[in-house]
Structure 1
Amino acid sequence: MRSLPLAGVTGLLCVSVLAGCGGGSDADANALTVTSTDTACEVSKTDLAAGTNTFKLINNGSKVTEVYFYAPDGKIISEKENIGPGTNYEITVTLPAGDQQIVCKPGMVGDGIGQDVKVSGEVGALDPRLAKAVADYRLYIDKQVADTVTKSEEFVAKVKAGDVEGAKALYAPSRFGWESVEPVAESFGDLDPKIDAREADLTAEEKKNWTGWHRIEKALWAEKSTDGLDEVADRLITDLKDLQDRVHTVDITPASMGNGAKELLDEVATGKITGEEEAFSHTDLVDFKANVDGAFKVYELLKPVVQEKDAALAASLDGAFTAVFDSLKKYEKDGSYVSYDTVEDDERKQLTDVVNALGEPLSKLAAAVG
């Protein structure tokens, strides 16, 4: 559940990780395109070859849109959220053979507008190093989700005991594992809004049944109470355990890993740097670190192949990740991070700059291993 940055955040954000400021990249005239408008989702070619395909996603509508690639069994292969009006974004996707759909969601709500595509042929054998990277990433996902479940159980115990201060201390740590693998978690579209919906993203009607971390966050910091939260707290654990059971079924390819790393950085740009993610607790920098950690893990696993295929890209990513981690260090405090409302506008601008510098090379990761 993510929205585009607000224009009112002191003009800090026209960040390249969103691939929209300046019209995006210059795609080849024969490149595959998915053009979203307010009423249509047009794919330039509906007979596609199995394997790696690069698409230019174009938003010619008036609303922020997102594009989903669904496998023949209905699972999400890949996705891109927050494509602003008049902008475009390139994504590399590994498509299996079979009849499937590409779906645009103008306004990022509802079931969207589907375009049927037919994919033929076979996906080539995977480089053994990439096969190992996929296997190791599955283990990483399992570990991060398990960590979130364990820490959320501790967090919920404090909530149900009425211990406001104890719950506050455990709130950000309980979310760290989720934030580090958020694109994978978000691929289960029915669970994401239950677990991670923010108040600003909900309609008046939806707020009546608001659940998840951010509902509890508001109670702890704004209402300074846990009254009436037992059911919400229990539901959070139920939904997280559901995620833990289902995450083993997610389809993972080297390209989807690369796209996921970029999505994690986009999460930083659209929610953490703006301060929109943790509107009440201001623990945005903890989420920021988790997002970047997750992106770095992907790069670390794919790095042997990236270095061989594109040494310059690997060197650029090495330097850019180091710069982001170094920039975060100045905000460390007592084993965590300072409250984000204490970070001044010029400091946020500096964080934006290092995220921009990482976003450009990270956008090439999926294509480098696809």
Structure 2
Amino acid sequence: MTSHRILSTFAITSLAAMTLAGCTPNNPASGFDGSIKVSSTESECKVSATEIKAGNTVFNVTNDGSQVTEFYILAEDGLRIISEVENIGPGITRDLTVTLSEGNYKTACKPGMVGDGIRGDLTVTANPDAQEVSADEQKLREDAQTQYAAYTKDQIDQLVTATESFAEAYKSGDDDAAREQYAPARLHFERVEPVAESFGDLDPALDAREADLEEGQEWTGWHRIEKDLWQPTAEENDGKKYTPLTDAERAEVADKLVEDTKSLQEKSRDLALTVDQIGNGAKGLLDEVAASKVTGEEEIWSHTDLSDFQGNIDGAKVAYDVLKPIAEKKDAELTKDLDKKFADVQQLLDQHSTDGTFVSYEELSEDQVRELSDAIDSLSEPLSKLTGTVVS
């Protein structure tokens, strides 16, 4: 959901343009002191350089304000998101490693993680010092890109089929069937969530939570239906009696969910992701777990958070797996650590499921929630190094 989590880690762009013809700069900082400094406050988004050289760049983003913030690199149109780093708390610094080709871009800080953000211009110029990637590594990069594109296409195709079945059950009034299908269908969405977040308003149309709606924003998508299927008491609904959707309203919201999901399928057909985007996407999915799954905020009515948790972990693991042959050649200890940490998280998740069906998140004790949170924190640290290692 766009307003409270990653807007996008993936750009929908030409693969040829983004691979920089198989070149990478000698200096990942593109001629600077190792990184581009970014300071985000409630009123400013200060970027230490507005012109850099093509290639790998590390944006060192510090939240000097009092609200949680995010930082984005956007295409020149200001709509397509090249990469981002999210959930940066006050006083926290996070790094974003991204590979940029020549062209004009925009930067944006989003204090409070709402609105269009505080924007600026970024120019990327030619890099005469670029160094060719070896033929062997270029082959590994192309393999990773091909494998991840195939995975993404398969998951979105399955999402469309599952969403159509879910929507039909909901429209027909078969609430038991709809509730049964809700989490399994969303699992496909959670595995490739950053893809939806690449397309501007498509992600909030599909996945916005009620708590994240901005003034005047129409509420549609999965969580609108979730609330209607697991209807809250007045106490759970800010003291107001919940009014169920009419048959006509059900049909409208269900049809729009299917329509938006098919739009995602259509827009992602020519998806081309670079290895830095895949790596940043893996970390973004893990941040998503920490931001809303572990807290129980994602599925506030159905309490199917553990299924979403599994989907995000699945997506992050696949992204890591396709990049592992590259990372292993450069830092074998990092890949060993990541293998172990992913296995640890999966082992904990498996304790709460039977034949792939998870218990309600409400059934977890505080100690079990803390155990999951600690495992995610432990995985997050080495995973944050993956992109930098792969593009180095």
- TM-score, reference length from structure 1: 0.89
Equivalent position amino acid for 1:38 in 2 = E
The answer to whether residue 122 in structure 2 is matched with residue 101 in structure 1 is no
> CA shift at 1:367, angstroms?
0.4
Equivalent position amino acid for 2:35 in 1 = A
> CA shift at 1:226, angstroms?
5.8
> CA shift at 1:341, angstroms?
0.5
Aligned residues: 345
SS at match of 1:244: helix
The answer to whether residue 207 in structure 2 is matched with residue 202 in structure 1 is no
Aligned equivalent of 2:318, options 285, 297, 306 = 297
Equivalent position amino acid for 2:89 in 1 = G
- Cα deviation, 1:37-87, whole Å, max 9, x if unaligned, reads 111211111221111111111111222211111234552110122212221
Equivalent position amino acid for 2:138 in 1 = D
2:230: which partner in 1?
A: 221
Kept after mapping to 2: 8 A contact 1:145/1:177:
yes
Aligned equivalent of 1:286, options 307, 319, 322 = 307
CA distance in 2, matches of 1:48, 1:316: 33
Judged with a 3 Å threshold, the aligned counterparts in structure 2 of structure 1 residues 334 and 315 are, in CA distance, closer, same or farther, namely: closer
Kept after mapping to 2: 8 A contact 1:162/1:226:
no
The answer to whether residue 66 in structure 2 is matched with residue 62 in structure 1 is yes
The answer to whether residue 40 in structure 2 is matched with residue 36 in structure 1 is yes
The answer to whether residue 201 in structure 2 is matched with residue 190 in structure 1 is yes
Kept after mapping to 2: 8 A contact 1:71/1:95:
no
Aligned equivalent of 2:52, options 48, 52, 58 = 48
1:165: which partner in 2?
A: 176
2:342: which partner in 1?
A: 321
1:341: which partner in 2?
A: 362
Kept after mapping to 2: 8 A contact 1:265/1:359:
yes
1:241: which partner in 2?
A: 262
RMSD: 1.9
Kept after mapping to 2: 8 A contact 1:64/1:82:
yes
2:274: which partner in 1?
A: 253
Gaps spanning 5+ residues in structure 1: where? Answer: 5-27
Aligned equivalent of 2:75, options 71, 74, 99 = 71
Identity %: 47
Aligned equivalent of 1:137, options 136, 143, 148 = 148
CA distance in 1, matches of 2:344, 2:328: 19
Kept after mapping to 2: 8 A contact 1:77/1:251:
no
The answer to whether residue 291 in structure 2 is matched with residue 270 in structure 1 is yes
Kept after mapping to 2: 8 A contact 1:164/1:226:
no
- TM-score, reference length from structure 2: 0.84
> CA shift at 1:193, angstroms?
0.9
2:10: which partner in 1?
A: none
Kept after mapping to 1: 8 A contact 2:86/2:287:
no
The answer to whether residue 120 in structure 2 is matched with residue 110 in structure 1 is no
Equivalent position amino acid for 1:159 in 2 = Y
CA distance in 1, matches of 2:257, 2:46: 38
Equivalent position amino acid for 1:112 in 2 = G
Aligned equivalent of 1:87, options 81, 88, 92 = 92
Equivalent position amino acid for 2:229 in 1 = L
1:25: which partner in 2?
A: none
2:21: which partner in 1?
A: none
SS at match of 1:274: coil
Q: After the TM superposition, list the runs of 4 or more consecutive aligned residues in structure 1 that deviate by more than 2 angstroms.
A: 1-4, 28-31, 71-75, 122-126, 203-206, 223-228, 248-251
> CA shift at 1:30, angstroms?
4.9
Kept after mapping to 1: 8 A contact 2:59/2:95:
yes
> CA shift at 1:205, angstroms?
3.7
SS at match of 2:57: strand
